[in-house]
Amino acid sequence: SLSHLRSAVSSSSPASSDPDAPKQPFIIGVSGGTASGKTTVCDMIIQQLHDHRVVLVNQDSFYRGLTSEELQRVQEYNFDHPDAFDTEQLLHCAVTLKSGQPYQVPIYDFKTHQRRSDTFRQVNASDVIILEGILVFHDSRVRNLMNMKIFVDTDADVRLARRIRRDTVERGRDVNSVLEQYAKFVKPAFDDFVLPSKKYADVIIPRGGDNHVAVDLITQHIHTKLGQHDLCKIYPNVYVIQSTFQI
Ligand code: UZR
Ligand code: MG
């Protein structure tokens, strides 16, 4: 009802935006350590936002292809370092999608450590764009495009157990090489780059995809925010109070 609506907003502030301006998509960043349940959380959010157009862009897509020298000594390559990603391209992708334009996302092959040269994934304009990856909060320019930042916080032993299972079953690796890579690169990079970016999160989700309450709260908040976008169009003089919360 309108009275309910009036109590929820303040009309004393100036108009927040041009009512005729096209609605900008709502950008969500989802970060957390390897095998923390980021993708699961994203899938749960997407399911619950079924009445909106939602697209998922994974930072993994922006891995740089390895040179032949790097490929020869792939065990010494650090895939968990920020330099392993083409961050300029990720930024360009995020800016383009935020402006409502489509973007052609590269396709990275984890087996060959190369980008597919013959194809890409076309990502179209959407209401919600989710940027997912271990280091999506690392670059301040990418981070500042986000309307909401979520950190999936799962214990390291649970993550390592999942990582071993995933890399052996899905990526054809043996247990020893997974453990070696974990100790040499994955854990140090988590401590140096991933964990320090947790402070930028608006919401921290313990236990990842098992945490249905957190995902419910987050999607309710996003629904409200998307509704407010519409509200600004209908009531251009109404100023919506922003809020942040922590779980
Ligand atoms: P998530 N990774 C590979 O194993 N091979 C590649 O070619 C590219 C990336 C791993 C990467 C990182 N590191 O820990 C993980 N290593 O993918 C990130 N070693 O993926 O966020 O789904 O855990
Ligand atoms: Mg994943």
Complete domains list, the chain, with CATH: 2-53+127-234 (3.40.50.300)
What is the per-residue pLDDT for 209? 87
Residue with tokens 């929820």: 8
- Residues near 238 by Cβ (< 8 Å), separated by ≥ 6? 9, 10, 11, 15, 231, 232
pLDDT value, residue 171? 83
- Residue 237 is predicted with a pLDDT of 46
Ligand 1 atom index nearest CA of 34: 23
Q: Which residue positions in the chain have pLDDT lower than 50?
A: 1-2, 4-16, 231-247
Residues at CB less than 6 angstroms from ligand 1 = 34-35, 38, 60, 63, 79-80, 110, 113, 134, 181, 185-186
How far apart are the C-alpha atoms of 126 and 123, rounded to whole Å?
9
Q: By CB neighbour count within 10 A (0-12 exposed, 13-18 middle, 19+ buried), where does 140 fall?
A: exposed
User: So what's the pLDDT on residue 235?
Assistant: 46
Q: What is the pLDDT of residue 22?
A: 63
Task: Supply the pLDDT for residue 14.
Answer: 41
pLDDT at site 29: 98
Residues with CB under 5 A from ligand 2 (ion): 39
Q: Whose CA is nearest to atom 9 of ligand 1?
A: 79
Q: What are phi and psi of 233, to 5 degrees?
A: -75, -40
CA of 164 to the centre of ligand 1 (A): 12
